[in-house]
Amino acid sequence: LGCIKSRLLPEEAINAATINGAYALELEAELGSLEIGKRANLFITRPIPSIAYIPYAFGSDLIDKVLLNGEVY
Residue 46 or 59, more confident? 46
What percent of the chain is predicted at pLDDT more than 90? 44
Whole-angstrom Cα distance, residue 37 to residue 4?
34
pLDDT computed for residue 12 by the predictor? 92
Evaluate whether 2 touches 55 at the Cβ level (below 8 Å): yes
Whole-angstrom Cα distance, residue 63 to residue 46?
6
How much is the average pLDDT of 7-26?
Answer: 92
* pLDDT for 1 beyond 80: no
First to last CA, the chain: 25
Whole-angstrom Cα distance, residue 32 to residue 28?
6
pLDDT band at 51 (very low <50, low <70, confident <90, very high): confident
26: left (phi over 0), alpha (psi -120 to 50) or beta: left
